[in-house]
Amino acid sequence: MSKGSLDAPAKPVNSLSHEVHSEDVTPLQVLSPEGEVINPEFMPDLTDDQLKEIMYRMVFTRAWDDRAINLGRQGRLGFYAPVSGQEGTMVGSEYALTKDDFVCPGYRDMPQLVWHGLPLYQAFLYSRGHQHGGQIPEGVNVLMPQIIIGAQILHATGIAMGFKLKGEKRVAITYTGDGGSSEGDFYEGLNYAGSFKLPVIYFVQNNGYAITTPFAKQTGAQSIAHKALAAGIRGLQIDGMDVLAVIYAVQQAAAIARDGGGATLIEALTYRFRPHSMSDDATKYRTKEEEQEWSLRDPLIRFGKYLESKGLWSEEDTARVREEAKNTVNEHIKKAEQTEKMTVNGLIDSMFETTPAHLEEQKADFQ
C-alpha cells in the first residue's frame, strides 16, 4: 500500500532560487451578488435599452433551457447540455461582440450561436441529430457545436489568422469548460495565438466540474487564467455570474484584438444549476449546500436586481419574457419536427463536392 497521497498541498512547500512566480488573481466584478455596482470603473458603456435587451436574452435562455429539459424527457430533443446558471457568460460574451465576429462553440454553447443568428429550430435539429442543424445560414458567423473538446480552440485560432491575413478588424471567440483547459489543443491554440499575435478570445467557462471531476483534479495551477502566461497572451479571471463583468472583459479583449494587440484568455467562474447532460446525475458528486450557495449568485437575480433598482425591469417583465420564450420554443420545435427527413443517399451526396464513383454505386443499396 502506498503511503503517499494524490492530494497535493495547495502551494509548493519548498522554493528554488530563481524560480518564476506569478501573481495571485482576483476575479473582475462589477455587480455584487445583491446587484449593487461595486466597481463602477469596470461598468461597460450600455444604454438602458441595451441593458434591457441583455436581461431579455438571459431570461429567454433560462426559459428555453427549462423547456429543453422537458422536451428532452418527452423524446422531442436528443443530445442536450443544460445551460442554466451560465446565462451571464453565454449571453454576455456574445453580446459584447459584433455580428461580424466569429463564434467557435463547444457542445454546451448553443445559446451563443442562437443569439449570434442561428435559428432556434436549427439548434433543435442539431439536438435531434439532423444534418440541417449544421447548415449555418450564410452571414451567420459561427461553426457548429464542437464535440471534440479542444478542437474548436484551434479552429478559432485559424479563423483569427484568416482575419489577420485579410486585414479585417474581426475577432474570433471560442469556448471551452474547465476540463477542456487540460487538453493539448487548448495549450496549442493559445500558444499559436501568442506566436502569431492573433485576434482571438479564448473564453473558459469554469463551472467547477468536468462531468464528475472537480476543477481541483484538473490542474495544480491556481487558476486557468494563469495558463495564458505559458502562451504569452493576456489572461484574466472574471465573475461569470456577473453579466456586466463578462461584457466589460470581452469588449476590452475584443478592442485590443481589433487593434492588433493579440489574444486574451478569459476564465469566467460560473456554475451550472443542472447536471452536465441529460444522462448525468449531479447529486452523486455535488452537495445541496454547494448548489444553494451558488444559487445566491444566480446571474438573473443579480442583474435583475440591478435593473429593478434603475426602474428598468420588473417581475412582470420576467413573466412576459418567459411566456414569449415558451411560445417561440414551441413554434420552433414544431418547425424542427416538420423538417423533411434525411435520406442515406442525401448523406452520401453531402460527403464531397463531387460524389466519387464508389459512393454513387453504394446509393443503389438505399433506393
Q: Which residues are catalytic?
A: 272, 276, 285
**Judged by CB under 8 A, which of 25, 136, 229, 256 binds other proteins?**
136
CA distances from 290 to 52, 204, 272, 282, 286 (A): 30, 21, 11, 12, 7
Strands of the sheet containing 200-206, edge to edge, are: 102-104, 172-177, 200-206, 264-269, 234-239
Closer residue to other proteins, CB minimum distance, 38 or 342 = 342
**Collapsed DSSP state (helix, strand, coil) of residue 1:** coil
Closer residue to other proteins, CB minimum distance, 23 or 138 = 138
For the CB of residue 138, give the shortest distance to other proteins in the complex, in Å: 8
**If binding is defined by CB under 8 A, does position 153 make contact with other proteins?**
yes
**If binding is defined by CB under 8 A, does position 344 make contact with other proteins?**
no
DSSP designation for 31: B
Only one of the segments 48-56, 112-120, 133-141, 261-269 lies at the binding site for other proteins (rule: CB under 8 A); that segment is: 133-141
**284 half-sphere exposure, CB direction, 13 A CA radius:** 8
Closer residue to other proteins, CB minimum distance, 129 or 214 = 129
For the CB of residue 256, give the shortest distance to other proteins in the complex, in Å: 20
**If binding is defined by CB under 8 A, does position 311 make contact with other proteins?**
no
**Would you give the distance in Å from CA 153 to the centre of its chain?**
12
- Cβ burial, residue 283 (10 Å; 0-12/13-18/19+): exposed
Only one of the segments 108-116, 153-161, 218-226, 284-292 lies at the binding site for other proteins (rule: CB under 8 A); that segment is: 153-161
Residues numbered 154 to 213 that lie near other proteins (CB under 8 A) are: 154-163, 165-166, 172, 184-185, 188-189, 191-192, 195
Main-chain dihedrals φ then ψ at residue 235, nearest 5 degrees: -135, 140
**If binding is defined by CB under 8 A, does position 353 make contact with other proteins?**
yes
Binding mask of the shown chain, residues 101 to 130, with x at each position contacting other proteins by CB under 8 A: ---x--------------------------
Q: How far apart are CA 300 and CA 85, in angstroms?
A: 8
**216 half-sphere exposure, CB direction, 13 A CA radius:** 6
Only one of the segments 60-68, 145-153, 269-277, 307-315 lies at the binding site for other proteins (rule: CB under 8 A); that segment is: 145-153
At 199, the amino acid letter reads P
For the CB of residue 171, give the shortest distance to other proteins in the complex, in Å: 13
**If binding is defined by CB under 8 A, does position 350 make contact with other proteins?**
yes
**If binding is defined by CB under 8 A, does position 96 make contact with other proteins?**
no
User: What ranges in the chain are assigned the alpha helix state H?
Assistant: 48-73, 87-95, 110-116, 120-128, 151-166, 184-196, 227-231, 243-258, 288-295, 299-309, 315-337, 344-349, 357-362
Q: Where do contacts with other proteins occur on this chain (CB under 8 A)?
A: 104, 131-132, 134-136, 138, 143-144, 148, 151, 153-163, 165-166, 172, 184-185, 188-189, 191-192, 195, 347, 350-353, 356-359
